[in-house]
């Protein structure tokens, strides 16, 4: 389901962003600058999501939701805090859009007559090939 720009702006007011020191290599930049950005969004307390949307997000993103019912997303790949903020907000909207998109029901199909014939021909060729490998009967 596509989330409109107007709705995105409303949702942006509901999540909190916090910065902390990033882990991993990076030398002085990592040791001094808080570049890691963490986004926290309370799914249960959201005013702009319907009850159905809240429940689907809780089910589909249960691995990213903590015990307090907050959706937690982090980004620390970039050297700047601003870029990590952009990444984490984009990731948030991408995850929510993906979670709210309804799953298409699979339509059962049967193999075509041509594909059935091809499969049987292939089976005959393979069996013939294996028969040719056997030593001749006396």
Answer whether residue 127 is part of any domain.
no
Asked if 35 and 69 touch (Cβ cutoff 8 Å), the reply is no
Average pLDDT over residues 9-26: 85
Q: Quick one: pLDDT at residue 83?
A: 93
C-alpha to C-alpha distance for 40 and 50, rounded to whole angstroms? 19
Query: For the whole prediction, is pTM greater than 0.75?
Result: no
* Paired strand residues for 41: 71
In a domain, 119, yes or no: no
pLDDT at 138 over 80: no
What span, in angstroms and rounded, lies between the C-alpha atoms of 87 and 48?
Answer: 22
pLDDT tens per residue, range 28-72: 777 788 889 999 999 999 898 899 999 999 999 999 999 998 999
**Residue 107 counted as domain residue:** no
Look up residue 136 and give its two tokens.
């001749």
Q: Of 68, 110, 82, which is closest to residue 17 (Cα–Cα)?
A: 82
Q: Quick check: is 111 in a domain?
A: no
- Domain extent for 38: 5-100
Q: What is the pLDDT of residue 137?
A: 81
Query: Does residue 82 form part of some domain?
Result: yes
Residue 63 placed within a domain: yes
Domain membership flag for residue 118: no
How many domains in the chain?
1
| Distance in angstroms (rounded) separating the CA atoms of residues 62 and 49 | 17
Polymer length of the chain: 138
CATH code, domain carrying 42:
3.30.160.20
Residue 113 maps to a domain? no
The answer on pLDDT for 17 being more than 90 is: yes
């Amino acid at each position: 389901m596509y989330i409109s720009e107007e709705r995105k702006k409303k949702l942006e007011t509901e999540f909190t962003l916090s910065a902390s020191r990033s882990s991993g290599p990076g030398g002085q930049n990592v040791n001094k600058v808080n570049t890691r950005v963490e986004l926290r969004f309370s799914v249960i307390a959201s005013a702009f999501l319907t009850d159905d949307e809240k429940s689907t997000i809780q089910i589909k993103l249960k691995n990213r939701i903590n015990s307090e019912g907050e959706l937690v997303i982090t980004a620390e790949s970039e050297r700047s805090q601003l870029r990590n903020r952009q990444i984490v907000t984009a990731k948030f909207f991408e995850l929510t859009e993906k979670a709210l998109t309804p799953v298409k029901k699979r339509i059962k199909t049967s193999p075509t007559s041509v594909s059935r014939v091809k499969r049987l021909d292939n089976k005959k060729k393979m069996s013939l090939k294996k028969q040719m490998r056997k030593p001749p009967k006396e």
